[in-house]
Structure 1
Amino acid sequence: MRRKKLLLLTGFATLVAGAAGPALAQASATDEIARYRQMLADGNPAELWEMRGEELWKKKTGPKNVSLEQCDLGKGPGVVKGAYTELPRHFKDVNKVMDLEQRLMHCRMTLQGLTRAQATAQPFAATGKPSDIEAIVSYITSESRGLPMATPTGHPMEKAMYEAGKKIFFYRGGAYDFACATCHSVDNQRIRLQDLPNILNKKNAQLAYTTWPAYRVSQGEVRTMQHRLNDCFRQQRFPEPLYGSDAITAVTMFLAKNAEGGVYAGPALKR
């Protein structure tokens, strides 16, 4: 199995490297990438992050030497099943709308006694430096696999967060005068091998949102929604938002609501 996975990953990397050549049609490249994803689906490396994340969720640590098993993600203390499909959401205990990574930060601080700096240290893995946050997020999100997205917008603050996310999505700025909508509001648009889903198209929004977090073959890491959106801001030449920024939560709320009803399928596999 490991040898088969290695061969498939090697083949995928070769495809990505060679597909930029003029001999390979764009449609054909897209089909081949989809085929490799399907072949790798049963052995997605993200499973390793999920297992490590579950261990970290249950591990007693921090100044208070407690686990995260009493963290309330919106469905009650310790309940992770289906929690991700209803995030971001308003939390009464802080009177604030939070996405998963903000809420996880909150629990690490209040339950385990970590400082904000400790709770947000290494949010994204780097060479030789794995991220506990990416692992825990992988575990939590995996517990919603197969369930429909149902992000709430009944509370006034949830509605306000959605509208803020919508404004950010359409806001043009930066050195290139780009907006999120520049790449993600038109059907059948792409950059090189990368399809650009039209987030205003419900089917596209569902397919895009329900497959993050994802294991990125090109990076050898599971990347969270925070990382994905930060990278979008980088490509727009905007300043990178601070980790746990409300701006990221707002955009996430907009994306999640647009994907309502879609069946969650992450952590998935990406190029």
Structure 2
Amino acid sequence: MKMTKAVSFVALGCLVTTVALAQKSATQSIDEYRAMLQDGNPAELFEAKGEDLWKQKRGPKGVSLEKCDLGKGAGVVKGVFVELPRYFADTNKVQDLESRLLSCMETLQGFNAADIAKTPFGSGEQSNVTALATWISAESKGMKFNLSQDHVQEKTMYEVGKRLFFARGGTHDFACASCHGEDNKRIRLQDLPNLTKNPGAGNGFGAWPAYRVSNGQMWGMQLRLNDCYRQQRFPYPLFGSDATIALGVYMGVNGKGGESIAPAIKR
């Protein structure tokens, strides 16, 4: 009887070890897959396009974006990505990179920002905004996130983002926190970062824009957040909405000190 129990405990221990090794192997395999894809990341093509668009004289006014102020002065792109979203006095709004680019395209080049925001993701000028965001994010790769919370609107947007992150609703009673509010969560073989603190917030927020291998598309943070709402069975908040920007502030502030790896590559 004692021998039978001993054998049973050994068998159980082997089973637990085997399952643990299998799970570890699956996670490691995905990491290795991403590492292989990172060499020759197609995002590099979007970077090149974005840099070219920045310098091109375009729009009804026929000027470039080289005088666009993304937070560090006209034309400065290095280091701006890791400080966005932030408050801008000229628009009296907290803006992320993509919505700020729309403002510059409107004021400098004469485009209609509202029309571009209504364009389907990946189409027309909105695809150009994604390319611009990809190049600008690459100029801050390896830098640490340090979003400001000095202005009252920045503080307000953080609190709004926090409430939205935990707000449950829709047909499945989901919230952002349902997937990203705890440690050690996964969906299928995909690790889900905890976006309420580091390192999850820095790793998750700091990876977008990213190239999606599964559909061959470049996604900015605006599309990433809108698609999250789709998966929660919510309507799209739409491009540049206060909701998506507030969520960006919440994640970015939580990710302070995390390293930007954008533009990254995703499954």
> Quick check: TM above 0.5?
yes
Q: 2:52 aligns with which of 47, 55, 68?
A: 55
Quote the residue 1:9 is aligned against. Answer: none
| CA RMSD after TM alignment | 1.9
**130 and 62 in structure 1: CA distance in 2 versus 1, 3 angstrom threshold:** closer
Which consecutive unaligned segments of at least 5 residues does structure 1 have?
1-21
CA distance in 2, matches of 1:140, 1:248: 19
| Equivalent pair of 2:194/2:200 in contact (CA under 8 Å) | yes
- Structure 1 residue 122: deviation in Å? 4.4
Count of residues in Structure 1 that have an aligned counterpart in Structure 2: 248
Does 1:217 find its partner at 2:217?
A: no
CA distance in 2, matches of 1:183, 1:135: 28
CA distance in 2, matches of 1:193, 1:123: 30
Higher-Rg structure is 2
Please state whether the residue corresponding to 1:166 is helix, strand or coil: helix
Quote the residue 1:141 is aligned against. Answer: 137
CA distance in 2, matches of 1:122, 1:194: 30
Quote the residue 2:75 is aligned against. Answer: 78
Quote the residue 1:18 is aligned against. Answer: none
- Structure 1 residue 131: deviation in Å? 1.5
Does 1:263 find its partner at 2:259?
A: yes
Counterparts of 1:6-45 in structure 2 under 5 Å?
Answer: 25-45=22-42
| Equivalent pair of 2:116/2:125 in contact (CA under 8 Å) | no
**1:170 alignment partner AA:** F
Encode CA deviations 1:227-258: one digit per residue, 9 max, x unaligned: 11111101111111121101100000000011
Counterparts of 1:88-237 in structure 2 under 5 Å?
Answer: 88-120=85-117, 122=119, 124-125=121-122, 131-237=127-233
Quote the residue 1:69 is aligned against. Answer: 66
Quote the residue 2:3 is aligned against. Answer: none
Quote the residue 2:244 is aligned against. Answer: 248
Percent identical across equivalent pairs?
56
| Equivalent pair of 1:123/1:243 in contact (CA under 8 Å) | no
Please state whether the residue corresponding to 2:102 is helix, strand or coil: helix
CA distance in 2, matches of 1:182, 1:137: 28
| Equivalent pair of 1:68/1:108 in contact (CA under 8 Å) | yes
Which consecutive unaligned segments of at least 5 residues does structure 2 have?
1-18
Please state whether the residue corresponding to 1:35 is helix, strand or coil: helix
| Equivalent pair of 1:171/1:180 in contact (CA under 8 Å) | yes
**129 and 257 in structure 1: CA distance in 2 versus 1, 3 angstrom threshold:** closer
- Structure 1 residue 130: deviation in Å? 8.6
- Structure 1 residue 124: deviation in Å? 2.6
CA distance in 1, matches of 2:48, 2:209: 15
**117 and 93 in structure 1: CA distance in 2 versus 1, 3 angstrom threshold:** closer
Encode CA deviations 1:70-119: one digit per residue, 9 max, x unaligned: 11000001100000111000001111111111101101111001112443
**1:152 alignment partner AA:** S
CA distance in 2, matches of 1:129, 1:98: 18
Please state whether the residue corresponding to 1:120 is helix, strand or coil: helix
CA distance in 2, matches of 1:57, 1:227: 21
CA distance in 2, matches of 1:96, 1:129: 22
